Amino acid sequence: MSETPPTKSGEPKRDAAPRRRRPELREEKILLSHGSGGKASHSLIESVFADAFSNSLLDALDDAAVFPVDSGRFAFTTDSHVVSPIFFPGGNIGDLAVNGTINDLAVSGATPLCLSAAFVLEEGFPVEQLRTIVESMAAAASDAGVSIVTGDTKVVHSGKADGVFITTAGIGRVDGRVHIAQSAVQPGDKILLTGPIGDHGIAIMLAREELEIESEILSDTTALNGLVEALINAVGGAVHCMKDPTRGGLATSLNEIAQSSQVCIALEEERIPIREGVRGACEILGLDPFTIANEGKLIAAVAPAASEAALRAMRSHPLGAQSQMIGDALAAPPGIVFLNTRIGGSRVMDMLVGDPLPRIC
Amino acid sequence: MKYIDEYRDPDLVRALAERIRDLRYDKPLKIMEICGGHTHAIYQHGLHQLLPDNIELVHGPGCPVCVIPIGRLDDALSMARAPDVIFTTFGDMMRVPGSKGSLLNARADGADIRFVYSPSDALKIARENPDQRVVFFAIGFETTAPSTAVTLLQAQQEGVSNFFMFCNHVLVIPALKALLAAPDLQLDGFLGPGHVSAIIGMQPYEFIARDHGKSVVLSGFEPVDVLQSVYLIVKQKTEGRSAVENQYSRAIKYEGNLTALKLMDQTMEVRPFFEWRGLGSIPESALKLRSDFSQFDAELRFDVPGLKVEDPKICQCGEVLRGALKPHQCRAFATACTPEAPIGTCMVSSEGACAAYYKYGRTLLTDTMKKWAQ
């Protein structure tokens, strides 16, 4: 690529020249006028978003970010975020929205290039909280070496939204060495997982007021592009499929892979890491940790000959220190995931149906 | 996890499975696990696969969601749809279909339906929303009834006037009596429900061994508990005796929990009859609020249809709940009736035999797995 968007290697580019003085935002709460497109909108954008996200493409404040691309394959994805509570142990809706889109690109084998961010704000939402969210987004993007190059803000009447909704989209350039697809898993492939499951879902559930359970479980929200890059550098095209098991958890992601690739996936329960606190919360609430959401874990299906090297590469990355080979892809029965239990039994591991609903007793 | 992992120790589980084999009991043996929690645990861990082929586990009627008849659910839906109502329920009940949709459907239509973890959460919602009528859908066996009792007493003490209880608590012993009276019953013993028995104690089961000659072992819910309980039943059979034994002694006392029983008695009384899904009307098998608490009784304070509604013809939940059919032998299993679109209640709760079967081990697949594992 002759000229890349202001991403890829670390820090977003900032204008060298001193800026004109930004208009200040006097209001402490979001008003409908902040979404009207007039002066109030400008002062919100300039005082809250423009500085935090600043990069050469965004700073122009044009209708679209324009940048050149060269040949190759590109990945394009989008995701809306509506989490409640907005602030939770280990993160908030902002870093979640940035990491979520980066991870969707990364598991497609793409290096994220740039993101968009669109906000739906509820009238009355505290500006201070919005600033915190935006700062988290800027930090998450910067950590992952990606820029937010375009955005939008709308405000709806009080009661018509739940504080703030954020939609992010992202473009990434697909690594030429890999052909990642949900349907590309072969019988014989090894299934790898980068660390303990269920952290995000349980952190969110326990952060909701109605559950008075104390815990120290943090959401695992993080960007996986660095880890994916390390994996691809180590074993290249031997990676057949990657997924980040978000909503529906490990069970749902693996079922999607099994059905799409028409393979059976056989897992070993004792190799699947789950934190003590997550197991405890699942026991109390009657939930299945295999169906609980993650926001910073990677599942990879890797050709058997490369699987040891893949595991080493994953383990040497800080986000993959607890990586495990959790199972195998088999030829039959196709479309089924099953689990060899710790005590020597086995069972089907089905997809989540509906929401995870706690058992009664 | 302390106090749980000890009961999931693979070596201990293998040793117990070995000891069951060592008893060399070779006649067919049918054991019913009464409680849905056991069904769930058996499939979650694949415990049934560790047993000799002549020992069959049959699923019983002890899933609190599964036994609620359609008519009661329709009553609940009519309360939930009434104006100025916040309807609260355990999560499991949300997907159960009534004759016109489920609570989830009613919520999508705009009814304020919230799932809570205990009746005291519902009372809290009532305190916080004095302008709304807050109804709690009280379901469950003797396990959950004490918390309903405590909440009623608290509501009475505080004088909360916008809180109502829709009482559907059922009793395990009358259901067992109905089962034991069925002419097609072929059972040799029962895994007794651990949590219920922690409340009611051991004495109420004694007639089963004495009058019906069947073994009862009150069991905990972890793999070691279940296998040890099966071992105790098989041992009784090899010795040619039937008795009530307590495997779950860390939770169950002979006399039960007298405090909980007193609270239940203070607030609730036995109904003359109650309709059970699939099992029909069973005398003295459920609880209702005592007249001292009628101001909290949703059945009296709301205008509900109160009708008996027949189960869909295709649904064989009744036979499954009686243990006469295995879930996969039901004509609707995994075809017309799935967890996504359940027809019968057994497919809804994760404690329901059909849902557990569907989720954890559709039989044919389990056979394939067994072959693969060998």
* Structure tokens, A120: 């739906």
pLDDT of residue A16: 45
pLDDT at B265: 98
Chains A and B form CB pairs within 8 A to the count of: 113
Find, in chain B, the residue whose alpha carbon is nearest to that of A276.
B1
B46 and A211 within 8 Å at the Cβ level: the answer is no
Q: Which residues of A touch B95 (CB under 8 A)?
A: 354, 357
Measured between beta carbons, the chain B residues lying within 8 angstroms of A360 are: 64-65, 90, 92, 139-140, 144, 349, 351
Instruction: Tell me: pLDDT of B131 over 80.
Output: yes
Residues 6+ apart with CB under 8 A from B103: B76, B77, B80, B87, B89, B93, B94, B95, B96, B111, B113
> Residue B98: is it exposed, middle or buried by C-beta count within 10 angstroms (0-12/13-18/19+)?
buried
As a whole number, the mean pLDDT across chain B is 91
Q: Write the pLDDT tens digit of every residue in B43-99.
A: 889 898 899 999 999 888 888 888 899 999 999 999 999 999 999 999 888 888 888
Q: At what angle do helices B353-360 and B36-45 cross, to 10 degrees?
A: 10
Shortest CA gap A358–chain B (Å):
6
For A360, which of B13, B48, B90 is closest by C-beta distance? B90
Partners of B43 on chain A (C-beta within 8 Å) are 347
From the CA of B159, how many Å to the nearest CA of chain A? 23
Q: Determine the pLDDT at residue A13.
A: 46
CA of B340 vs chain A CAs: smallest distance (Å) = 6
For residue B305, the distance in angstroms to the closest alpha carbon of chain A comes to 26
To test the contact with chain A by mutation, choose from B86, B350, B357 the residue with the greatest count of A C-beta atoms within 10 A, namely B350
B-chain residues near A353 (CB < 8 A)? 339-340
Tell me the one-letter amino acid at B209. A
Q: Which of B4, B94, B143 shows the shortest C-beta gap to A357? A: B94
- What DSSP assignment string belongs to B319-345? HHHTTSS-GGGSTTBTTTB-SSS-SSG
Q: Give the minimum alpha-carbon distance from A301 to chain B in angstroms, rounded to a whole number.
A: 21
Pairing between strand A324-330 and A190-193? antiparallel
**B50/chain A closest Cα distance in angstroms:** 7
Disruptive mutation site among A263, A269, A359 for chain B (greatest number of B CBs within 10 Å)? A359
A292's CB contacts (< 8 A; 6+ apart) are A197, A198, A200, A201, A202, A249, A278, A282, A356
By Cβ distance, the residue of A346, A354, A359 closest to B373 is A346
pLDDT category of residue B139 using cuts at 50, 70 and 90: very high
Query: Which DSSP state fits B62?
Result: E
- Which CATH number is A32-348 given? 3.90.650.10
Question: A338 and B144: CB-CB below 8 Å?
Answer: no
Q: Do A332 and B360 touch (CB under 8 A)?
A: no
Using CA coordinates, name the residue in chain A closest to B143: A361
- Whole-angstrom distance, CA of residue A156 vs CA of residue A92: 21
Contacts of B108 (CB under 8 A, 6+ apart): none
* Residue A117 to chain B, least CA–CA distance (Å): 29
C-alpha torsion B325→B326→B328→B330, nearest 10: 20
Which of B50, B140, B339 is opposite residue A360, by nearest beta carbon? B140
- Cβ-Cβ contacts under 8 Å, B349 against chain A: 359-360
User: In degrees to the nearest 10, what's the CA dihedral of B187, B190, B191, B192?
Assistant: 150
Q: What are phi and psi of B275, to 5 degrees?
A: -80, 125
pTM for this predicted structure? 0.87
pLDDT at residue B73, rounded to an integer: 94
Find the closest chain B residue to A335 by CA distance. B365
Query: Would you state the structure tokens that stand for residue A203, as one six-digit string?
Result: 């952190």
Question: What pLDDT band is residue B371 in, cutting at 50, 70 and 90?
Answer: very low
User: Are the CB atoms for B237 and B20 separated by under 8 Å?
Assistant: no
**Phi-psi label, residue B206: left if phi above 0, alpha if psi -120 to 50, beta otherwise:** alpha
User: What does the pLDDT profile of chain A (361 residues) look like in tens digits?
Assistant: 344 454 444 444 444 444 555 567 888 999 999 988 888 898 999 889 988 999 999 988 888 999 988 889 999 999 999 999 999 999 999 999 999 999 999 999 999 999 999 999 999 999 999 999 999 999 999 999 999 999 999 999 999 999 999 999 999 999 999 999 999 999 999 999 999 999 999 999 888 866 667 778 999 999 999 999 999 999 999 999 999 999 999 999 999 999 999 999 999 999 999 999 999 999 888 889 999 999 999 999 999 999 999 999 999 999 999 999 999 999 988 999 989 999 988 888 888 776 666 665 5
pLDDT of res. B364: 46
Which residues in A lie closer than 8 A to residue B359 (C-beta atoms)?
348, 350
Q: Is B285 within 8 Å of B179 (Cβ atoms)?
A: no
Contact state of B46 with A342 under an 8 Å Cβ cutoff? no
**Does domain B70-170+257-301 correspond to CATH entry 3.40.50.11740?**
yes
The predicted model gives B272-286 an average pLDDT of 92
DSSP string, B221-283: SSHHHHHHHHHHHHHHHHTT---EEES-TTT--TT--HHHHHHHHHHEEE-SEEEETTTEEEE
pLDDT for the residue B349:
74
Question: Which residues in B lie closer than 8 A to residue A332 (C-beta atoms)?
Answer: 368
Residue B373 binned pLDDT confidence (cut-offs 50, 70, 90): very low
Q: Alpha-carbon distance B17 to B263, whole Å? A: 40
Task: Name the least confident of A201-215, B154-168, B357-371.
Answer: B357-371
Distance from CA of A319 to the nearest CA of B (A): 25
